[in-house]
A and B are shown apart, each in its own frame.
Chain A
Amino acid sequence: MTRLGLALSTFRRHKGRTLFTVLSVATAFAIFAILTAIEQGLDGRMSLASAQRLDTSTAMNVALPVSYAATIRSIPGVVSVTYLSGFGGYFRDPNNVVPVLAFSLPSVLKVYPEFAIPDDQKEAFLKDRQGAVVGDVLAQKMGWRVGQTIPVEGGPPQKNGSTTWTFHIDGIYHTDLPAGYQKFFMVNYEYFNEGLAPSPTKDTVQNFNELVDDPKDIDRVARAIDTRFMNASTETRTESEQQETMSSLRQFGDVGAVVTYIGLAVFASMLLITGNTMANSVRERMGEFAMMRALGFGRLQLALIVLRESAILIGVGTALGLLAGWGLSLLMESVMTAVLRGFAVTWMSVEFAVALAILFALATGLLPGRRVAELPVAATLRRM
């Protein structure tokens, strides 16, 4: 019989109560692990947003004249401008959605260096007006290879009246940008715009993306762009990619705050359950503690036994919870990374969880431990 064995033996008294308490701790820490993975994903999403890129569109998301490009390019601090239009088509079956994005070439490759295309494929794409480069995720999903000719249906009418647009796959790109960026069907804006039947969308773009020479200058450049078009037919709204990412994440509310509040609520309920278990466990054993004091156990020794029990309960629950959270995060990874790049349980989260667990073990063990330490031996034995 050792001190550790003594603490462990306590949990055999009420196996059901022990099990449910450990499960409540495990559940709290599993939720904690998932919440920290979400926060990690939010941070990851923010870190992927370039500090040197601007996005120019309109407040109402109406089309902008493509002629704005030349004006934007002339603003000091703007290194390169790309713009895009496009449509959501499909390949053979309406369920096989193909997001056709018509970018200005070659500026898109300068503004978005994250699109990695083999040099020979890039060269072929830039030479082929009807060419396309496809994200590796989309290509894999559709089973496309370089060299194929792909008819994309469901597009805007062409000059010949057809709504089926045909492109040659000249290349397949890879990017570590968020999942949405990995499924582009990237084509030449000039080819697309020329092919459009006369319509209000002709010679317009959905937005401009600018590469700025200095991240410190990004706000000034954004203001300069909007100022330039202040009284134009269509006014612009320019914001940095990081601001845009934050705005899009805030569509769901303040995710960070929600994560924190959920975490607090879960831990508060876990603390109540574990604290109650420890308090009951100690109350039931006051006679035994009095007997142990009579045998020569000191006040501190008994308090440490109680603290050890609390540490074991919380420690086992924490380990199980983190393991479950990690497993869940792996299962959810493929879905979550589409929105939250970097969604994962990190070592830093584990270290934080361990620190919390130590704090919780102290919080739930100190009061019962103190009660045991202050036990009046003779009076308690008399009552038993």
Chain B
Amino acid sequence: MPPIENDTAPLVRLRGVTKFFKRGLERVEVLKHLDLDVPRGDFLALMGPSGSGKTTLLNILGGIDKPSSGDVVIDGKPLHRMGEGALTRWRARHVGFVFQLYHLLPVLTAEENVALPLILAHLSAAERKRRARAALALVGLADRARHKPGELSGGQEQRVGIARAIVTDPTILLCDEPTGDLDRKAGDEILHLLHLLNSEHGKTIVMVTHDPRAAARAQRTLFMDKGVLSEEPEAV
């Protein structure tokens, strides 16, 4: 598949993506011939029951897993043809991950956690600090820069996680159950933040969620069950 370079082309294009695992002699198909387009600036929610393949799809979009077959093209880059080293470098530059359990380093301050991906960029210490502070300010935690994760609420930790995801100005944000471990109020704040990042900063977001209220904040929702995507839950 040739690189897609015009602006009208979708940022993400999946064609015939299949993923299977071997469990003993059994072949377990997690994704079944998926086709998916995600336009630039989209905020897509992926819903579905546990084990339906949502997270596997997200991992393939983020380049931390590879499809068994099919094409994955993001911003013109054919991920399915890239070697592991190239995928790792691409991920550092183009993908921001937001995890359900935040995965912050407990011994680092919020600012240091946010600056973590910047270690990989060739930036001065001052520039790394400036960008980390800007990202924290964007998520409303400028005054918590020196706090460690243990000194923050769950909602604040997730905001630090989001700041870490956006600090490299990635092409796409991939969020795996970002509100799954939060209470309703904190969850709403996170969803509001993601909505702002999408609507005001133009970030393309793909979010996996179980929560229909979270999905309602996205521009569109796709449903997944048994490795198949659909626009309507009842169609799956």
**Chain A positions near chain B (C-beta within 8 angstroms):** 1-3, 5-6, 9-10, 12-13, 287-288, 291-299, 301, 377-378, 381-382, 384
Contact call A287/B103, Cβ cutoff below 8 A: yes
Q: Is the CB of B55 within 8 A of A382?
A: yes
Give the residues from 145 to 174 in chain B that come closer than 8 angstroms, CB to CB, to chain A: 164
Q: A287-B103, A293-B88, A381-B99 are in contact. Are A9 and B108 (CB under 8 A)?
A: yes
Q: Tell me if B217 is interfacial: C-beta within 8 Å of chain A.
A: no
**CA of A266 to CA of B18 in the docked complex: distance in angstroms?**
55
User: How far does the Cβ of B63 sit from chain A's closest Cβ, in whole Å?
Assistant: 9
Closest 5 A-B residue pairs measured CB to CB? A296-B92, A291-B103, A378-B65, A1-B115, A9-B107
Q: A1 CA to B103 CA in the complex, in Å?
A: 17
> In whole angstroms, how far apart are the Cα atoms of A299 and B99 in the complex?
20
Pick from A296, A298, A382, A384: contact of B103, CB below 8 A: A384
Q: Which residues of chain A have C-beta atoms less than 8 A from B117's C-beta?
A: 295-296
Residues in A whose Cβ lies below 8 Å from that of B91: 294-296
CA distance in complex: A301, B101 (Å): 24
Given the complex of chains A and B, what is the CA–CA distance between A6 and B112 in angstroms? Answer: 9
- Partner-contacting stretch, out of B2-10, B41-49, B118-126: B118-126
Q: When the two chains form the complex, which single residue of B88, B95, B97, B108 contacts A1, counting CB atoms closer than 8 Å?
A: B108
Point out the residues of chain B lying under 8 angstroms from A296, CB to CB. Answer: 88-89, 91-93, 95, 117, 120
Partner of B107, one of A10, A293, A378: A10
A295 in contact with B92 (CB, 8 Å)? yes
| Cα(A308)–Cα(B84), bound, Å | 23
Determine if A384 and B64 form an interchain contact, defined as CB atoms under 8 angstroms apart.
Answer: no
Q: Could you list 7 examples of A-B contacts with CB < 8 Å?
A: A294-B64, A295-B92, A296-B117, A297-B119, A298-B89, A381-B99, A384-B101
CB distance from B164 to the nearest CB of A (A): 8
- Dominant SS among interface residues on chain B: helix
Q: How far is the CA of A288 from the CA of B116 in the complex (A)?
A: 12
Min distance, Cβ A301 to any Cβ of chain B, angstroms = 8
Cα distance, A301 to B91, chains bound together (Å): 15
B residues 77-122 near A (Cβ < 8 Å) are 84-85, 88-89, 91-93, 95, 97, 99, 101, 103, 105-108, 112, 115-120
Q: For residue A8, which residue of chain B has the nearest CB?
A: B107
Query: In which size bucket is the chain B interface?
Result: 20 to 34
A residues in contact with B116, CB < 8 Å: 1, 6, 292, 295
Majority SS at the chain A contact face: helix
The residue from B99, B105, B119 contacting A2, defined by CB atoms under 8 A apart: B119
B69 at the interface (CB under 8 A from A): no
**Does B59 lie at the interface of the complex (its beta carbon under 8 Å from any beta carbon of A)?**
yes
- The smallest C-beta distance from A2 to any residue of chain B, in angstroms, reads 7
Interfacial chain B residues near A288, Cβ < 8 Å: 103, 105
Extra A-B contacts (18), CB below 8 Å, given A294-B64, A295-B117, A298-B88: A1-B112, A5-B112, A6-B119, A12-B107, A13-B106, A13-B107, A288-B105, A291-B99, A292-B116, A294-B95, A295-B92, A295-B116, A296-B92, A296-B120, A377-B59, A377-B65, A381-B64, A381-B99
Q: Does any Cβ of A come within 8 Å of B13's Cβ?
A: no
Docked Cα-Cα span, A285 to B107, in Å, equals 12
**A298 with B62: CB separation less than 8 A:** no
Min distance, Cβ A192 to any Cβ of chain B, angstroms:
77
Which residues of the other chain, B, contact A381 by a CB distance below 8 angstroms? 59, 64, 99
Residues of B within 8 A of A287 (CB): 103
Q: Give the Cβ gap from B105 to chain A, nearest Cβ, in Å.
A: 6
**Which residue on B lies nearest to A292, using beta carbons?**
B116
Q: How far is the CB of A374 from chain B (nearest CB, A)?
A: 12
Task: Give the one of A5, A297, A381 with max B CB within 10 A.
Answer: A381
In the docked arrangement, what's the CA distance between A40 and B164, Å? 56
A295 (CB) vs chain B CBs: closest residue: B117
Q: What are the residues of chain A within 8 A of B89 when measuring CB–CB?
A: 296, 298
In Å, the complex CA distance between A301 and B65 comes to 19
Cβ distance A14 to chain B, nearest Cβ, rounded Å:
10
CA distance in complex: A378, B112 (Å): 24
B133 within 8 Å of A (CB atoms):
no
- Please measure, in the bound complex, the distance between the C-alpha atom of A10 and the C-alpha atom of B112, giving whole angstroms: 13
Minimal beta-carbon separation of B174 from chain A (angstroms): 9
Residues on the A chain within 8 Å of B120, using CB: 295-297, 301
Instruction: Confirm or deny: B203 has a beta carbon within 8 angstroms of a beta carbon on chain A.
Output: no
- Give the Cβ gap from A111 to chain B, nearest Cβ, in Å: 69
B119 / chain A contacts, CB cutoff of 8 Å: 1-3, 6, 297
Q: A305: nearest residue on chain B (CB-CB)?
A: B119
A299 to B85, CA, bound (A): 9
Q: How far is the CA of A327 from the CA of B105 in the complex (A)?
A: 39
Q: What distance in Å separates the Cβ of B145 from its nearest Cβ neighbour in chain A?
A: 12
Point out the residues of chain A lying under 8 angstroms from B101, CB to CB: 384
- Cα distance, A37 to B131, chains bound together (Å): 53
Contacts of B106 on A, CB cut-off 8 Å?
13
From known contacts A3-B119, A378-B64, A378-B65, infer whether A295 and B97 are also in contact, taking CB-CB under 8 Å.
Answer: yes
A3 → B minimal CB distance (Å):
6
Quick one: given A1-B112, A1-B118, A291-B99, are A377 and B107 in contact (CB under 8 Å)? no
Complex Cα distance A4/B65, Å? 29
Q: Using Cβ atoms and an 8 Å threshold, which residues of chain B touch A10? A: 107
B84 nearest in chain A by CB position: A299
Query: Which residues of A have CB within 8 Å of B88?
Result: 293, 296-299
A294, B103: Cα distance in complex, Å = 11
